[in-house]
Each structure stands twice: as structure tokens, then as C-alpha cells.
Structure 1
């Protein structure tokens, strides 16, 4: 039996999954890395050897030899903007990740680790639909400043993975039908998926609804006044807007379960904030419906907040008139990575080459 190894690095953990090439999940494991261990490294890429040894140890424990591997697939990192799909990991990609062309992030280690292990096994390494994909229509890129465009960083992997799942279950066609997908996590990615392409999406770090951690779209005057009055340096201001806003700013927590406990205990302000977040999500979904000119097969809500019946119930009140609402709580990243690699192994999809698909050197 041959296996596909799936690697998904997080900030303090490395998720590992082993699948057979016949679609059977053999083993999943989350290897935790202590904060003390992580602090030893100045750059994320420097964690490579430490994490690789942890992955190899799991394979050893499960009796899986390098010659048993058919492929290795890693979560894609912060690359230059590219179209969606499955990519062969090559040195062009590795060099850009090690140079952190779009910033340092734990996911940058995914392709690096995948290629090192794959090279030892004599097989190919792949990534699938990284966050740096950009399938936006030209019209969606425009801003009111010439030369400045909207860009795309989004949860492409899970958005496409859950849509494929809904298509299989409901008989929809991923490549022909249109969907609106709302990935609701610490940050939100909400966009119209037209015939398999995410043709518009809010970049959670730059705009859209406020979320558990992100500030969302701010009125221009508020942004300018806040930045100048508070005397923020750029780095600290971005940190505030991207990691210390939303529910954290209003209620002191990013945990929706805690917010719902506040609401249950009679906190009227918490209830108002939570409803305002649902209102903004619904408004964003409505805007996506306009992009698709009303031709929407289904609205799919995924991510951690999709577990909340209170939140999804409020969203449904705003958007259910557009199309049926499908809930896919949590995320399917590991399965989606495996399925992307399997499509290549089964010759259902041709792997792309990173250098050939770069859309822009400006991002």
C-alpha cells in the first residue's frame, strides 16, 4: 500500500495526516511545540529541522518507510499571487518562502518540509490552493487611487474544499455552478465562487466585516484619526487592527463561546456586538450575490463560527432569501490537501509550476 503524507504547520503545532492512495485516512496527529522551543528560532524557516524530525518520528512510530510514500503535500505559504490549483513544489517556490516575500508565517514551512521529505523518498511534493492565490476579476481589483489595487489573501484551501464537499453531497457542479462561501474564523474570508474561481473576496487583514480578531472595514476618517491620535508606528497599528480588534476590542475576548456565555448571562452590549457582526457578514454575503448577479446555487458557511447556531441563525435571517444555506463547521484543510494531491496522482489534474503562474510581482 502507498501513502500520501499531509503536513500543515501552525504557529505552535504541526498537523500531520497519513492517507492511503485509495482515500482511506490512516492516521492523524497534532504535534505540539512548546513556546520555549519556538522561541529558540529567529525566523520561522529556521524551525525546519526541528519540525521535520517530529514528522519523521511519527512516520517511524507508524511503521511507514520512505519508500511507502506516493507523495507529500504541504499547506502552501505566503507566496507571490498565483492562480488556484495543485502545484509541484520546486526551488523557485522554496526560495521565495525562505525569503518571506509576503511575510513570515508558519504555513511557509509546509512546502519546505514537504519537499525535503519527498526528496528523501524519491517522490514529488505538492501544495494546493495556498492563501496567496488570487483569482479576482479585474473589476474587483480597482480602488479609488490609481496604481493601488485590492489584493487577495484568503482561506482558499478550505473555501474550495468545503464547496467540493457540498457539491458531492448535493449534486452540484463545482466547475459550472456559482456559490457564496463565508469562512468564519479568527478572520473572515467571504467571496463569490464562480465556476470554481474565487472572483472576489475580502482580505481579512484589510477589510470586510469585523471578526473575532480583525477590525474589518473602517471609515476613512476613523482610520486616519485613530492612527494619528494614538501615535502608532505602522507595525503596531497593523498588529492592533489584525490581531487586537473585533470582538477582542469590544468584549475582551476572541472566543465566540465566551461571548455567547455573556449573552446568556444577560449582557446586552455583548448581544448587540454579536448581532452587529452577523449583520456585517450578511451584508458582505449580499454584496457577493450582486457580483454573481443573483445566480447563486448555495451559500456555504464554514470555519469555527459555523458551529454556533446562534450566529448562523442570525446570518440566515439576512441571507436565506438569496439561496439555500449550507453549514460545514470547522475546516477541511487536511482532507483538501490530500484530495488535491490525489487528483494529481490519478491524472485528474495537471500540477502547475509556480514560476509560470505568478500573476504579479507587486503585492
Structure 2
């Protein structure tokens, strides 16, 4: 049975898992002290440090690197690509190391996987990076030609839960019409049809706000704010991504804290909690229109989907549209294992970046 190493770097931690086939045998969420991370000039400079931590963790777990048959990492900020699994190559590494499309902890996924795989004399892979863009041409047209729309979702989790729900429905994913709402620190809501994400919104740029992202704002007022002389460019960008959304109202990025404050009678927390459910419901309904109302299921996934109170507020508004399926939590590690197992068994052909 093939042994698979899965690597998923986050801002202050690195998740790793070892699978035998599609069965998870070991997993660890390795925390990195902020004091240590601050010593690196950029995220990509953490490569050697995190690689060493991973190999040490594997040794302690009795799953040494030398026993691995394949390695895959989460994909980072790359050029727009189709969904699928990609072999890590020099062009990809160059884009990630130079931050061509932006700096993000996920950029370390391919770089660390490649570093470890070279020690084994094997190729490394990534799958469904966050820059997967399958948006249909009609959906790309925005209110101005200089600012076209583009697809950005939590693709790994979207595709994984969509395939799972399709299997439960007894249909191939390619024949299903689904609306998937990933509800986490970031929120992305998408219409899936014919095996592709044909339209989507993400709180980094449009759609509902999320825990630290502002989502769609009044562009007229935003333009006036930008040229008011009160804010620098980086301050405005932080308002949109990092210090917007729930955190701007309540000073927390933890949804559990918001719910606890609501339960304690905090009126502001309750209003934000309910406003978030309202906006999520509205975006889901919009995606059912993209599918002309022919929807096999609406899927709620991500960490916020663990909140029964939040789910109830959403389902009260949208239950008339289609059957609702709950898939709380995230399945990114399982999704990466699915892709790598497919490559190693010959069921999936890797693509070139």
C-alpha cells in the first residue's frame, strides 16, 4: 500500500499527515512560535526551518521520510489554473519563491514538498491551488472592463465535499449541479456544474464578509475613502483583507467567540452573527440562479457549519431552494491524499504548470 505524505502550511502552523492508500494513519498540526517566525524576512524564507520540523516530527512518529512513496503539498498563489493535480516544476517554484502572485503561507506547500521529494529522488505535487479559476465567460463580465471578475474559492475543500455529496446522491460529480458554501475564516460560495466551478464569490474581494475580510463594499464610498487622504494604501488593503469583516466590528477572528458573546446577550455580536448568516443566505440564493434553479443540493461546509444556531439561520432562509447537506469542517488533507493516490496508482494524470 502506497505511503503518502501530505503537507499543508498555515500562517503559524503546518499540518502534516501520512496515509496508506486513502486511509489516514498519522496526522499532526505542528505549531510554530511567533517569536521564531518573526526572525524570517519573508514567508518563503521559512522553508528550511519548517522542512526540518516536519522531518523531525515524522521520525518521532515512526514514519520516516525514507518510507514515503509520494509527497504532495497544498498549492499557493500561482497563475490561474484549472482544477487538478500539478507536478511541481521550476516555473512553479520560481513564481512561489519570488511572490509573483502574492505572498501566502500556502506558497510553502510546493516548495517544502519539492525539497523533501528531491531527497527521495521523486517528483512532488500540488493540487487545486487557491488560484483555480474555472469561471464561465459570462460570469467574468463586471461593471467595468478594467476590473473583470475571476474565480477564487477554497477549491480543495469545495471539490472534495462536492464529490462526496455527488457519490451520496448516486451521480458522478460531473453530472451534479451543486451550490457549495465554504464557511470558515474566509468564505467562498460557488456554483458547480459539469464538474467545474462556473461562478463564485469569495470574501477577499466580493460577496459576503467573513471573519477578517470585508467582502463586497459600497464601491462609491470606498473610492472616496481611498482618496480622502486619511489612509495609506496598505491600511486600506488591510481593511479589505486581514482587519475587515467580523474583526472590524468585534475585535475577534474566532467565530466561536462571536457565538459565545451572542449567547451571553451581547447585542452587537448578535447583530453581526445574524448579518453574516443573512449575507451567506443571499449569496447562496444568487448561485442557485446561476444554475437556473436546477440544483441537486446546497452544501454547507467549513468550520462555521459546526454551529447549529448559524446553520439554522441560513436554512430558514434557503431551505425552499434545494435539499441542504451539512459537511462541517474541512477535508483538505483527504482531498490532497485523493489526488496523490490517484497519481501514484495511474488513475489521475498530473498536469504541467
Q: Same fold, TM exceeding 0.5?
A: yes
Change (3 A) 1:148 1:274: same
1:347 is displaced (CA, Å) by 1.7
The answer to which of 215-224 and 246-255 deviates more is: 246-255
Post-superposition shift, 1:67?
Answer: 4.1
Partner Cα separation in structure 1 for residue 119 and residue 248 of structure 2 = 47
Q: How far off is 1:138 after superposition?
A: 0.9
Residue by residue, what CA displacement relative to the aligned partner does 1:236-257 show, whole Å, maximum 9, x if unpaired?
1111221222222222323222
Contact in 2 for aligned 1:69/1:123 (Cα 8 Å): no
Shift of 1:66: 4.1
How many Å apart are 1:65 and its aligned residue? 4.1
RMSD of aligned alpha carbons? 1.5
Which moved further from structure 2: 252-261 or 301-310?
252-261
The question of 1:251 aligning with 2:250 is answered yes
Give the match for residue 20 of structure 2. Answer: 20
Q: Distance in 2 between matches of 1:43 and 1:15?
A: 20
Alpha carbons 1:289, 1:295 under 8 Å: kept: yes
The aligned runs of 1:165-244 (5 Å cut-off) are: 165-229=164-228, 231-244=230-243
Unaligned segments of structure 2, at least 5 residues: none
Q: TM-score, normalised by structure 2?
A: 0.96
**Which residue matches 1:10?**
10
Give unmatched runs, 5+ long, in structure 1.
Answer: 355-363
SS of the residue aligned with 2:201?
A: coil
1:269 positional shift? 3.3
Equivalent residue for 1:62? 61
- Select between 258-267 and 73-82 the one with higher mean Cα deviation: 258-267
Which residue in the other structure is 1:38 paired with? 37
| Mapped partners of 1:39, 1:130: distance in 2 | 26
Q: Mapping of 1:1-363 within 5 angstroms?
A: 1-21=1-21, 23-229=22-228, 231-354=230-353
Provide the TM-score with structure 1 as the length reference: 0.93
Whole-angstrom distance in 1 between the partners of 2:229 and 2:185: 25
Tell me how far apart the structure 2 counterparts of residues 284 and 5 of structure 1 sit (CA, whole Å).
Answer: 36
Query: For residue 359 of structure 1, what is the aligned residue in structure 2?
Result: none
Q: 1:48 is paired with a residue of what secondary structure?
A: helix
Superimposed CA distance per residue, residues 22-57 of structure 1 (whole angstroms, 9 cap, x where no aligned partner)? x22111011111111111111111111111111111
Distance change in 2, residues 1:116/1:202 (3 Å): same
Once the 2 structures are TM-superposed, how far is the Cα of residue 176 of structure 1 from its aligned partner? 1.1
Partners of 1:2 and 1:194 in 2: CA distance: 32
CA distance in 2: counterparts of 1:113 and 1:255, whole angstroms: 29
- Any idea what the Cα deviations from partners look like across 1:73-130, whole Å, max 9, x if unmatched? 0000100111110111111111111011111111101001111111111222111101
Distance 2:23 2:155 in 1: 24
- Cα separation, 1, equivalents of 2:59 and 2:97: 27
CA contact (8 A) 2:306 2:329 kept: yes
The answer to whether the Cα contact below 8 Å between 2:202 and 2:215 also exists between their aligned partners in 1 is no
Structure 1 residue runs of 4+, over 4 Å off?
none
Q: Do the aligned partners of 1:6 and 1:337 also contact (CA within 8 Å) in 2?
A: yes
Is the CA contact 2:203–2:216 (under 8 Å) kept in the aligned structure 1?
A: no
Stretch deviating more after TM superposition (248-257 or 285-294): 248-257
In 1, Cα distance between the equivalents of 2:203 and 2:233? 18
> What is the CA–CA distance in structure 2 between the aligned matches of 1:103 and 1:353, rounded to whole Å?
21
Q: Distance in 2 between matches of 1:147 and 1:262?
A: 42
